[in-house]
Amino acid sequence: MTTAFVLGGGGVLGAAEVGMLRALLERDITPDLVLGTSVGALNGAMVARDPTLAVIERLAALWNDTARSRDVYGDRPLRTVRRVISTGTHVYSAAPLSRRLREELGDVTFEQLPVRLQVCAASIERAAEHWFSTGPVVDAVVASAAVPGLLPPARVVTAEGVEHFLDGGIVNSIPVGRAAQLGATRIFVLQVGRIDRPLTPPSRPWEVARVSFEIARRHRFTRELAELPDGVVAHVLPARGTSARDDTVLAARDFGGVAQRIAATYDATRTYLDELP
């Protein structure tokens, strides 16, 4: 049996995945393969480097520190306005995220990890889904988490040359199909809760893009679940502590519910796992 952890994207809601990881690792469920997109790439890289309960304390500290300092999206308003005017493409710098990741992961490469890891990002030049599986892990995670409009496209040297990447959620937000392609027979899907919430028609211009993206990401996820080969079992773990308020424009900076999301999702996932045959 080959066990995969698939960690989906979802920005600040990614704290919910920490609760799921705690419940899994407490039951000695460890991955042979980790796949991550966007914030799931961040959480996934941490657990691929240390697939033990010790990583939960580090992840919780990382999320709580971010909540307190607002380091990633914490620029002063005037500075963000100046950046938007000067770049025309993004609001925040990627430097704080990159710096914080290097504090945790250093210069570790994919080849050095004890658990096989792959990270998804969207290549601009090739207009394609790209999977990082070699080279520096931090560069790949920053590329996977480059939210359009919030963070700049990430410049990374790949086998194809110098490329620029945006958030992997654009092309594959919850890569369950990829896990099956790579030989996983038991897949635990760590998602942030949005797939459970019903969509309603947008009523404001800025809601159109969000609803359109949600339709695309949920359609692909549902299709890939339905198309899993015989013999492959997927467990979609329950996320808690999120709501429709988390899908608003201003929610990207709201880290206030980190501890509650971790705790609530841990309890729900623990119950789910206890009820498995």
CATH number for the domain harbouring residue 122: 3.40.1090.10
pLDDT-wise least confident of 93-97, 111-115, 227-231: 93-97
Strands 3-7 and 186-190: parallel
Task: Average the pLDDT over each of 67-76, 126-135, 209-218 and give the range with the smallest value.
Answer: 67-76
Q: What's the CA gap between 240 and 229, in Å, rounded?
A: 29
pTM here is: 0.89
**pLDDT tops 80 at residue 270:** yes
The pLDDT of residue 264: 95
Q: Which residues contact 163 (CB under 8 A, 6 or more apart)?
A: 123, 124, 125, 126, 130, 155, 156, 157
Residue 129 has pLDDT above 80, yes or no: yes
Q: Catalytic residue positions?
A: 38, 167
| CB 165 within 8 Å of CB 124 | yes
Output the six-digit token pair for 109.
């490469």
Paired sense of beta strands 116-123 and 128-132, if any: antiparallel
Domain span at residue 266?
A: 3-275
How many domains is the chain built from? Answer: 1
